[in-house]
Structure 1
Amino acid sequence: MDMTLSQEFWLLELKGYNLTHQLSLPVDRQRSSTDQQRSGLASTAQITFRDEICASFLHYASSHHLTLFQLGLSIFYVFLFKLTHGQTDLCISSINANRHQSELVNMIGMFVSTLPYRAELDPHWSLDEVVKHVREKCLSILEHSHYPLQHILSDLHLTQSNVSFLETMFDFITISKNVSGLSLNGVKLQEVSLNQSYGMAKFDFSLNFIYNPSLDDNHLSCSFVCSCDLFDETTLTMIGRRFQYVLEQLFSLKSSIFISKVDLILPEEVEEREAVMFHRLENIINEGMFSF
């Protein structure tokens, strides 16, 4: 297979991006070096969305001709833009089925590959404009997804040990309705809860959406699974709450606002700050260098 076009695509796709630059995430601890030994232990935060949010998510994806993966990825980009204090050039990783040939579609086996997903956002975009950009990006990546990650890095004279996008992962998992009825050679396969795999952290910062249409309610949930070498549980819990609030804003009546106007500060934090400020103002008497 001639991979010249795919090689050129990936070189152009990552042109100008500093692949060794780390995202400015609110970590509790920094690593001293990229080759520092990692514990592999995970800090996790799980979010289950209300039925109305799930309905809004599914309706938006359907009405804008998006896959659930594309919409989830778009929201993650908006959240990273806010979480990194306005970083607009974002590159993360995600996995691809890598079954580009028809004979691979129904073949049993693991063909998935990890690929970089870069988005260059405009702070004055609305969610509609973000998803349009991300959808086009995903479709172009799909066309060249057979090009191995090792070749992408080799073409850029890099190795996996010093590439930052491999430390931030996004995935969207849709659970099949009939998964409990699967069998192989007469042996019934038992479903294993995805929560059991969250004890270890393969990445510094990862977000996994899970959509389970077979549940009576709460079809949509997500989990942040991050390295406890960098994040405390309390920090990740707060990150999860902020992500939920961002998603609620994007699907509210204000969904057409610029992404720069999306608020990361929780409503109760605003109330607490205002209460402290007003209480202090009421008690300030003749403060300063001079009193009259």
Structure 2
Amino acid sequence: ILNEAGTLQPVGIVGELCISGVSLARGYHNRESLTLETFVPHPYDTKQRMYKTGDLARYLPDGNIEYAGRMDHQVKIRGYRIELGEVEAALLSIEHVQEAVVLSKENADGQNDLYAYFTAEQSLPISQLKEKLADQIPGYMIPSYFIQLEKLPLTSNGKVNRGALPIPEVGLQTGTDYVAPRTSMEEKLVCIWQDVLKVKEIGVKDNFFDLGGHSLRGMTLVAKIHKQFNKSISLREVFQYPKVEEMAKAIAEAEACGPDYIPAAKEKDVYPVSSVQKMVYLSTQIEGGELSYNMPGILALEGKIDMNRLQTAFQRLIQRHESLRTGFEMIRGELVQVIKPQMEFSMERYKAAPDEVEELFRAFVRPFDLSQAPLLRAGLIELEQDRHIFMFDMHHIITDGASMNIFVEELIQLYDGRELAPLRIQYKDFTEWKLQKEQRERIKRQEEYWLGVFHEELPSFELPKDFARPPVRSFDGKRHNFVLDKTVIQGVKQLEELTESTAYMILFSAYSILLAKYSGQDDIVVGTPIAGRMHEDLQHIIGMFVNTLAIRTAPMAEKTFMDYITETKETMLKAYENQEYPFEELVEKLGVKRDLSRNPLFDTMFVMQNTEQTDIEVDSLAVRPYEQTNTAAKFDLQLTFVIDQDEIQGSFDYCTKLFKKKTISVLAKDYVMILSAILRNPSIPLREIQLSEKVNKSKHLASTIELDF
């Protein structure tokens, strides 16, 4: 725009180009709304307007303006913001290409794909185009379809008629030459990929991670491959052989391991518990920990609710999953599961105003008696006739994050009158199966790995704190939320390609660097949860499967980030390969001295959730997420990320008996600074990464921070 001095002034890094000095009388004939949208008020002259051209421009350091494409040519593909003109320019730079147009079109799954139309002096193979484009633009900007035309269709005024460009037939996609499965193995593997990735068209040269794969989906893939082929490949091999044809060869060469079948347990009065259930039970016995393992949820319901249908759906769900009918008792010094054959269930009902929901929800989340099933409660708040808030609360001893998703999805399906496929096994069958000789031997082999990781002296890690640690661990907590902007998100995705790692590994590495900077130590142990559903039979069962991995890294100052992320990737892959070893057994084997004031082995967690919360329409009822405010601090500090296609939402859960709100706010700012530094320069030495404030290596943060400003 023009400033008061009459010189050009930038409107940001990339701004919309406007032409100043347009008369107030100008506009679109009989189209007042379009005129108001396009002819905007001038910031310094009320008698003039500015015309929004629809072009994007960059203000360069030398005073020139660089054209950066059209506003209406910006699109979003799988979370990436893409300028179509940039892709077109890259295509035009390829030898023999004469004209190029790139469009974004929605596919059958509701996602957008890029279509590249071009004319050329000769026939050009797709593989050659992709190879040339890969030298100029990131992989996510390479079109899914390439269509060579004799000439581009034009409008009457000589512009490209984008609406007349043909839709290609299926089979030209992925930016590589589409190659259909050639063997029975490849056909079956493509079907598994389609199920895991929710992508319909997959060729044997497609890359698992390019199509949206990540570590969690990789582990699901491994479980399905075992089930389908009776062959076992590791998550490491998913990284090593990310293409269908490569993975099919790896599976063919793997030794047959026989069917991994979880048998149904014999009928008994009581059943053993899992190691993780034991840990949860013991943790809830600590004074003040009664609510620390509650897992509440809350949803907004809009539309007419049929209470009879909802009540019936609950009864059917409780009958379907034995975990929802399970209590826990100590018998002869052993904790056991007691499953009730049937159970009646009724919801709590309330009427309230919207501003009373938070208080009602807090009162709704209360301690469970673990001996009394069901360890589940549900409530419905009526705000007005067709507006309700649905609350539910389960104890962690019978559920985990994946189970919560199963609970909501199946409740909605049952409410909708749908029939669910019967479950072949239940959680009790899993706990009995884990006691079999073969399973115990596998756990023993994994134990050797973990004891090797911690054979050296355990680090005495201590973050600077605002308050002295209380003698008994406090669960009082609060949450600090932040969002990573689109520039950071795009940088993370580019760094994934550069390092052949995942967003999880990159964000985790940045967190361990933050902890090293704050503590002044370079031997860091961070806990991270793992889904624990390595077997395909467990994918649809409600239960507590999640295990905790203690990831030990060494973010030493002299290392570059590229060195460190390579080490971290290797550490995590090894941890994933040995993920079934129960954390509680590791603590016992290491002889970690129990301290009521803190967790054993580590006091900080890193969590990443790749699942998205989405709106659901059922009959005349809309189900939408409702933001929770409830927070219990299971650890001193926990960093959680939730990733969807548009943004990465972060949050620090912290113990209020140890940290002030302001301290955590600064911590979050420093984390983003670290992440930005490594994205700008992945080869940066860790010692050169700066924080916003100089943090002294003392145990009391408030008295030792020197402000730089």
Instruction: Mark yes or no: TM-score above 0.5.
Output: yes
Q: Offset at 1:121?
A: 2.7
What SS is found at the alignment partner of 1:196? Answer: coil
What secondary structure is seen at the aligned counterpart in 1 of 2:625? coil
Measure, in 2, the Cα distance between the counterparts of 1:156 and 1:51: 43
Within-5 A mapping of 1:1-292: 1=439, 2=441, 3-18=443-458, 21=460, 23-33=461-471, 36-38=472-474, 40-85=475-520, 87-158=521-592, 161=595, 163-176=599-612, 179-181=614-616, 190-193=624-627, 195-197=628-630, 199-213=631-645, 215=646, 219-252=647-680, 254-265=681-692, 269-270=707-708, 272=709
Amino acid at match of 2:531: A
Aligned-partner residue type, residue 51 of structure 1: K
Q: What amino acid maps onto 1:170 in structure 2?
A: F
How far does the alpha carbon of each residue in 1:95-148 deviate from its partner, in whole angstroms, 9 at most, with x for none?
A: 001112232234443311122111123322222111111111111111111111
Give 1:14 shift. Answer: 1.1
Q: Which has the higher contact order (CA 8 A, sep 6+)?
A: 1
Unpaired runs of at least 5, structure 2: 1-438, 695-706
| Residues 186-222 of structure 1: per-residue CA shift (max 9 Å, x gap) | x9865343x534x321211111112121x4xxx0121
Structure 1 residues 160 and 96: alpha-carbon distance in aligned structure 2, compared to 1, 3 A threshold: farther
- Mapped to 2, the partners of 1:88 and 1:169 lie a distance apart of 17
Q: CA 1:189/1:118 → structure 2, altered by over 3 Å: closer, same or farther? A: farther
CA distance in 2, matches of 1:98, 1:182: 31
Letter in structure 1 aligned against 2:499: H
* Root-mean-square deviation (Å): 2.7
User: 1:54/1:230 Cα in 2 relative to 1: closer, same or farther (>3 Å)?
Assistant: same
**Matched residue type, 2:509:** S
Normalized per residue, which structure has more helix? 1
Amino acid at match of 2:496: A
Question: CA separation of 1:16/1:102 partners in 2, compared to 1, >3 Å: closer, same or farther?
Answer: same
User: Retained in 1: the 8 A contact 2:512–2:526?
Assistant: no
Contact 1:43 1:232 in 2 (8 A): no
What number of residue pairs does the alignment pair up?
255
Residues 1:70 and 1:37: Cα distance change in structure 2 (over 3 Å): closer
Q: Distance in 2 between matches of 1:52 and 1:37?
A: 39
Q: 2: CA distance between counterparts of 1:174 and 1:160? A: 34
- 1:248–1:225 Cα change, 3 Å: same
SS at match of 2:684: coil
Higher strand share: 2
Percent of residue pairs bearing the same amino acid type: 19
State the 4+ residue runs in structure 1 displaced beyond 4 angstroms.
Answer: 159-164, 187-190
Residue 99 of structure 1 aligns to a residue in which SS? coil
C-alpha contact (below 8 Å) 1:182/1:189 kept by paired residues: yes
1:10 Cα offset (Å): 0.8
The answer for unaligned runs of 5 or more in structure 1 is 273-292
Cα–Cα, structure 1 residues 182 and 120, in superposed 2: closer, same or farther, change >3 Å? farther
CA contact (8 A) 2:470 2:657 kept: no
How far residue 266 of structure 1 moved from its aligned partner, in angstroms, is 5.1
* Structure 1 residue 163 displacement after superposition: 4.7
Larger radius of gyration: 2
Aligned-partner Cα distance in 2 for 1:164–1:245: 30
Question: SS in structure 1 opposite 2:494?
Answer: helix
TM-score of the superposed pair, with normalisation by structure 1: 0.78
In the TM superposition, residue 182 of structure 1 has moved relative to its aligned partner by: 8.8
SS of the aligned residue for 2:553 comes to: strand
